[in-house]
Structure 1
C-alpha cells in the first residue's frame, strides 16, 4: 500500500466520524509495531494538508521489558519532526514477576492506557490516537459475541470523561494486510514485541478465526465490517456515507 492510499483511507475515517477538529493536540500512542508506525506516518501526512490544523505528540509507554529498545521509534520521530516522549513504567515486572498473572493482557492494557492518558494530559493533549485497524475492529466484535454475548466493538471515537480526553481510531478503514504492505514498501523498522504471551492470546484466536471464515466464505470479513457500519453500536451509527 502506498502512502497516498493510507492517507486517503485515514482522511475518510477522520471526515466521516469528525475525528479531528481545529486546534486539536493529538497524542499518538507508538508501541513500535507496524500499526502504530503506520498511524504516525498517516497523521503526519494528514497534518500537512488537512483543512483543520492540528499538532501531534508521539508517546511510547516503556513497559519495563529488559530487551525493549526505543532507538527505531526515536529515529522515525526525529525524521518526521514529531516530538517524542517516553513514559518509563514497571508494568511488565509487576504483571509477570510480582503478580504472575495467568491472563495478563487486560490488566497490562489497562495500566498501559492509564500511563498513556496521564502523559497525554501532562503534555496538554485533548485527543489520543490508537492504531486499531479494520481487522482489530472485526476481531473485537467476534470476541464480544463469543465471550460476552453481545454485538459490540471499539467506537471510532470515545470520550473519556474522567480524563477529559477523546480517543480516536484513524485507521478504522485500513486492512491489516495493507498495513503490512505499507510497512514492506516503506521499510518501516518495527520493534519486535518483547511480551512473552505475544501470539498466544484470545485476540490471536479471533484473528485466525476471521482468516478461516474469510477463506471459506470469500468476502465474509468485509460483510462483517459492513454489519458494524450499519449497526446501532454506540459511536458507529453516526456515519453518514460509506461504501
Structure 2
C-alpha cells in the first residue's frame, strides 16, 4: 500500500465519521507495532493538507517488560517532528508477577488505556487515536458473537465522559494486509511485542478464524464489515 492510498482511506474515515475538528490536539498511542506506526504516518500526512487544523502528540506506554525499548519510536517521531512522550509503568510486573493473571489481556488493556488517557489529558489533548483497522473491527464482532452472544463491535468514535476525551479510530477502512504492505514498502522499523502471551489470545483465535472464513468464502470479511456498517451499532449508522 502506498502512502497516498493510506491517506485516502484515512481521510475517508475521518470525513465520514467526523473524527477530527478544527483545533483538535490528538494523542496517538504508539506501541511500536505495525498498526500504530502506520497510523502515525497516516495522521502526520493528513495534518499537512487537511482543511481542519490539528496537532499531534505521540505517546508510548512502557508496560515494564524488561526487553522493551522505545528508541526506534523516539527516532521516528523526531524525524516526523511529532512530540513524543514515554510513560513508564509497572503494569507488566503487576499482572504477570504479582497477580499472576491467567487471562491477562483484559486487565492489561484497561490499565494501558488508563495510562495513555491520563498522559493525553496531561498534555492537553482532547482526543486519542487508536490504530484499529478493518480486520480489528470484524474480529471484535466475531468475539462478541462467540463469547457474548450479541452482534457488536467498537465505534468509530467514542466519547469518554469521565475523562472528557474522545477516542477516534482513523484506520477503519484499512485492511490489515494493506498495513503489512505499507510496513514492507516503507520498511517501518517496528518494535516486536515483548508480551509473553502475544499470539496466544482470544484475539489471535478470532484473527485465525477470520482468515479461514475468508479463504473458504472469498469476500466474507467485506460482507461482514458491510453488515456492521449498515447495523444499528452505536456510531456506525450512516
TM-score, normalised by the number of residues in structure 1: 0.98
Report whether the alignment pairs 1:225 with 2:225: yes
SS of the aligned residue for 2:182 comes to helix
Give the structure 2 partner of residue 75 of structure 1.
Answer: 75
Give the whole-Å Cα distance in 1 for the aligned partners of 2:17 and 2:194: 34
Partner of 1:111: 111
SS at 2:67 equivalent: coil
Question: How much does 1:30 deviate?
Answer: 0.1
Cα deviation digits, residues 33-87 of structure 1 (max 9, x gap): 0000000000000000000000000000000001001111001000000000010
Aligned length: 238
Query: Aligned residue for 1:49?
Result: 49
Matched, 1:35 2:61: no
Q: Which runs of 5+ in 2 are unaligned?
A: none
Which residue of 1 is the match for residue 21 of structure 2? 21
Q: What secondary structure sits across from 2:173 in the alignment?
A: coil
* Counterparts of residues 155-170 of structure 1 (less than 5 Å): 155-170=155-170
| Counterpart-to-counterpart distance in 1, 2:5 and 2:198 | 29
Structure 2 distance, partners of 1:93, 1:129, is 26
Q: What is the alpha-carbon distance in structure 1 between the residues aligned to residue 6 and residue 16 of structure 2?
A: 16
Rounded Cα–Cα distance in structure 1 between residues aligned with 2:165 and 2:72: 28
**Aligned-partner SS, 1:100:** coil
Query: What's the counterpart of residue 62 of structure 1?
Result: 62
- C-alpha distance in 1 between matches for 2:28 and 2:14: 15
What is the aligned partner in structure 2 of residue 142 from structure 1? 142
Give the Cα separation in 1 of the matches to 2:153 and 2:76.
31
Q: How far apart are residue 168 of structure 1 and its match?
A: 0.0
The alignment yields a C-alpha RMSD, in angstroms, of 0.3
Per-residue CA deviations over 1:174-206 (Å, capped at 9, x if unaligned) read 000000000000000000000000000000000
Specify the alignment match of 2:205 in structure 1. Answer: 205
Question: What is the CA-CA distance between 1:92 and the residue it aligns to?
Answer: 0.2
**How far apart, in 2, do the equivalents of 1:183 and 1:96 lie?**
31
2:173 is the alignment partner of 1:173: yes
Distance in 2 (alpha carbons) for counterparts of 1:168 and 1:138:
17
Stretches (4+) displaced over 4 A:
none
**Inter-partner Cα distance in structure 2 for 1:65 and 1:203:** 21
Deviation per CA, 1:156-187: give whole Å up to 9, x if none: 00000000000000000000000000000000
